[in-house]
Chains A and B, each alone.
Chain A
């Protein structure tokens, strides 16, 4: 299953990179979101998909899946949420002010 997941993650990274390299600000944001999905899944996969119980002691299982990556990913999801929200609002403001979301057109002038 790890191999399958890694390949899936590879696809996610490829598409995310392609989106980030584009000119439209929205596509860049979408790219970042996909990139973080990929990173989360990669992290979880590499921490070992061993078949333990969920990390709840109430389950009283003999083995649990590793809780630490989960805690880190949970933090990452929430931070990613915050950053995405910020980028979205930034894109929104920029569009309202400059009437374009093309990053090439948004470049500063030479003297800036």
Chain B
């Protein structure tokens, strides 16, 4: 592009990372407030798509060298493995566990095996969205 839209780049840089940060927050908030793997994943994907839109494909590829089909695979694997872990202890597939701990300074902390499962979903959603959009976009050029 000859006329690099400087304003767009500057704003995108800031906004994209705010969105990314917010998407991480949404992902973790999921268990108790609106959010979760689907929503967090979609928002992360939206932030990344914004980056791809304002910069060009090659630049971002250099910055984020992920293979999205592998991310889908990793996500599925994590989701299935969390289910299988329960099976090892004699529970049905995909039984989730949770516990509240009281850690000094941090206060009440919640650990649930639903979180890694949600992480799997998150990864699949991110991977899928970007994979589809990038595959189509790359085919153009």
Contact status of A92 and B136, CB under 8 A, knowing A74-B38, A78-B38, A82-B128: yes
Asked if B32 contacts A56 (CB within 8 A), the reply is: yes
Asked if B34 contacts A85 (CB within 8 A), the reply is: no
Residues of chain B within 8 A (CB-CB) of A54 are 34
The answer to whether A89 has its CB under 8 Å from any CB of chain B is: yes
Contact status of A89 and B136, CB under 8 A, knowing A74-B38, A82-B128: yes
The answer to whether A108 has its CB under 8 Å from any CB of chain B is: no
Contact status of A78 and B125, CB under 8 A, knowing A56-B32, A56-B34: yes
Of the candidates A56, A74, A89, which one forms a contact with B33 in the assembled complex, judged by CB atoms under 8 Å apart? Answer: A56
Residues of chain A within 8 A (CB-CB) of B132 are 85, 89
Contact-size category for B: under 10
CB contact list, A17-71 vs B, under 8 A: 54, 56-58
Q: Give Cα A89–Cα B128 distance, bound, in whole angstroms.
A: 13
Residues of chain A within 8 A (CB-CB) of B34 are 54, 56
Binary contact readout A68-110 vs B (1 if CB under 8 angstroms, 0 otherwise): 0000001000100010010001001000000000000000000
Tell me the minimal C-beta distance from B120 to chain A in angstroms: 14
Residues of chain B within 8 A (CB-CB) of A57 are 32
Tell me the minimal C-beta distance from B63 to chain A in angstroms: 24
Tell me the minimal C-beta distance from B113 to chain A in angstroms: 19
Q: Give Cα A54–Cα B32 distance, bound, in whole angstroms.
A: 12
Residues of chain B within 8 A (CB-CB) of A56 are 32-34
Q: Give Cα A82–Cα B38 distance, bound, in whole angstroms.
A: 12
Asked if B32 contacts A58 (CB within 8 A), the reply is: yes
Chain A residue at minimum C-beta to C-beta distance from B39: A74
Could you show 17 A-B contacts with beta carbons less than 8 Å apart? Answer: A54-B34, A56-B32, A56-B33, A56-B34, A57-B32, A58-B32, A58-B33, A74-B38, A78-B38, A78-B125, A82-B128, A85-B128, A85-B132, A89-B132, A89-B135, A89-B136, A92-B136
Q: A54-B34, A56-B32, A85-B132 are in contact. List 4 more A-B contacts (CB 8 A).
A: A58-B33, A74-B38, A89-B132, A89-B136
Residues of chain B whose beta carbon lies under 8 Å from any beta carbon of chain A: 32-34, 38, 125, 128, 132, 135-136
The 9 closest A-B pairs by CB, nearest first: A85-B132, A78-B38, A58-B32, A89-B136, A56-B33, A92-B136, A74-B38, A89-B132, A58-B33
